[in-house]
Each structure stands twice: as structure tokens, then as C-alpha cells.
Structure 1
Amino acid sequence: MKEILREIGMIARALDSISNIEFKELELTKGQYLYLVRICENPGIIQEKLAEMIKVDRTTAARAIQKLEQQGLIEKKNDGINKKNKGLFPTDKGEQIYPFLKREGDHSNQVALSGLSTDEIETVFNLLQKIRKNVEVDWNHVKKGNKREY
């Protein structure tokens, strides 16, 4: 069987490494930029939904969100309906950084897909969505404290 997940992992680590180097001047590291981008794209998102979107546990998300708050890039605001939920919003400083993060993401996407036809890009996208959905089943299972059977 082809080692598809190894390839995906290598791609993800390479892109993460590039981003950590390029975003160092912004003092964004270890994937914090992912949180800021998602918050800018989904203002008011709650921490639990953000963690689920990025596929990390709540503790990891809480640490990253806390650091972004300390850096003045995001802020928590009370949800008007449910007082327990605090929405996450970019600050003006976070909004100013977002276009740079977006350009980097668009550039990385363009580089990764160079040489592929429109049909190939569509196929890759659809196949990766299927793979993600398959993995999400195990992720949700394990996240609830269960073990996978090999």
C-alpha cells in the first residue's frame, strides 16, 4: 500500500515549518497563525468550534488562544445569548496581520498545486476531503477516550 499519510504529513510539516519561519517577525509560532486566520474568517466563533475546525484538543486550543489574546491579536466577547460562550474576535492588530497570512496561504496553495490541471486539483480536493472524513471518525472516537482496534 502507498504511504499516502506519510506524504500528507511531510507536506504539512514542510508548510508549517515555512510558516513558522515567515511569521517569526509577527511572533506567531507553532500553528498560532491557523487560529488567527480561522478567527478572522469566522468572527465570533467559540473556542470549542475552533478546536474542532483545526482538529486539536481543547487544551491545545486554549493555550494558543491565550497567547493570541496576550499578544493583542484576538479578544473574547460574551455571547449575547449564552453567557457561558465567549466569541473569539480579531482585534484591529489581528485584522491588520490577516491579509499577510492570507497571501501566504494562497501562495502556498498555488505552489503546492502548480503543474496540476483544474480537473486534477478538483480530484485531489475531493479525495482529501474523503480521507479527512474517514480520519475524523477515528479522531472523534479517540477524542472521547476510546481506543482504536488495529
Structure 2
Amino acid sequence: MPGHLARRFQQMAVTMFLVEVSEAGFDLTPVQYAALATVQTNPGIDQITLAGLITYDRTTITRVVDRLVQLGLLLRRASTRDRRARELAVTEEGQRTLREITPAVEAAQRMLVRGLTETETAELIRLLRKAIMVSDDLSRAYCSAYQDTQ
């Protein structure tokens, strides 16, 4: 079943990420890394925008940002555009972490597809993107309906 295979592939991706990153001397989760890298690419974004970019709910992203701020990797400051919003920026320590952790993250990604050719890897990525694009709105609707029942 595709759902089972997707879950299994995700388990492997997380495990390989954690092992490689840990061996490189870092203690970041895949979500924390994604948030840090996304803020680096989009300096000054707010938490809601960050949540949308990496497709996480607001509650989870708040905990992720709190942890990255606690680790000294992100700064959270009042927005210059909206007093209610908080802008995010990567600290110098966060930039250093991203530079040093990138080889481990790339190694984990290579391990994940090590049995595939470059062509097969590209095809896998293309098909995953296609499946996600055509089902993303539906998954968000199911997620909202599930949260409403809790």
C-alpha cells in the first residue's frame, strides 16, 4: 500500500538524518533543520509563514522555534510591518550550524536513495512531488477535520 510505503520511507529518512547529524556532533531534528534552513533562505519571515513553507501546524512550529531560540540558533523579534507578528532571523551560531551540518544532511539524503540510479532518484522525487501536489489540499482538509474532532 502506498501509505505504508510512504510511512516506512519517512521512518528511514528520519533515522538516517538523526544518525548522520548525531555523528557530526549535532542535536537537531529534521523539522528543526528544515525550519532553520527555511529562515536562512527567507530572513525576516514570521512563524505562520514558516509553518506554511515547511507544512507544519502552528502549535508544532511554535515549539520548534522556541527550541531553536533556546539553542541560540534563531532570533525572534517584533515585526517592523505588523506589531502582532514576530520576525525570525538566523543567528551567527545558526549560520555556523547550517554550514557544518549540511554535509551530514546531504549524506543522509544520499543514503536514503543509495540503491537507486540518478535517473531513478530523479523519477522518485518527481513522482513524490506529483503525488503531494495533487493530494496536499485534500490532506489539509482531512487534517482540519481530524483536529476538529479532538
The TM-score by the shorter chain falls in which range? 0.7 to 0.9
Q: Deviations over 1:41-63 (max 9, x none)?
A: 32222211221222221101101
> Which residue of the partner structure matches residue 32 of structure 2?
32
Structure 2 segments unaligned to the other structure (5+ residues): none
| Residue type at the aligned position of 1:12 | Q
Residues 71-117 of structure 1, C-alpha deviations (whole Å, 9 max, x = no match): 11101133322232222111111111102332222222222333534
Contact 2:79 2:85 in 1 (8 A): yes
Q: SS at the partner of 1:126?
A: helix
Aligned-pair distance for 1:127?
A: 0.9
1:17 aligns with 15
Report whether the alignment pairs 1:86 with 2:75. no
Secondary structure of the corresponding residue to residue 27 of structure 1:
coil
The gaps in structure 1 that reach 5 residues or longer are: none
Distance, in Å, in 2 between the alignment partners of 1:20 and 1:107 is 11
Task: Tell me the secondary structure at the aligned position of residue 26 of structure 1.
Answer: coil
Count of aligned positions: 145
Partner Cα separation in structure 2 for residue 109 and residue 67 of structure 1? 24
- Report the TM-score, using the length of structure 2 for normalisation: 0.79
Is this contact kept in 2: 1:78–1:87, CA < 8 A? yes
1:56 maps to 56
Higher helix share: 2
In structure 2, the residue matched to 1:46 is 46
Asked whether the 8 Å contact 1:37–1:101 carries over to 2, the reply is: no
**Equivalence for 1:7:** 5
Report the equivalent of 1:106: 106
* Aligned structure 1 segments of 4 or more residues deviating by more than 4 angstroms: none
Q: Map of 1:101-140 to 2, 5 A cutoff?
A: 101-140=101-140
C-alpha separation between the residues in 2 aligned to 1:146 and 1:26?
Answer: 34
Secondary structure in 2 matching 1:75: strand
Greater relative contact order (Cα < 8 A, sep 6+): 2
TM, length-normalised to structure 1? 0.79
Identity of aligned residues (%): 22
Quote the offset at 1:4 in angstroms: 2.3
| Kept after mapping to 2: 8 A contact 1:45/1:87 | yes
Distance (Å, rounded) in 2 between the aligned partners of 1:84 and 1:11 = 39
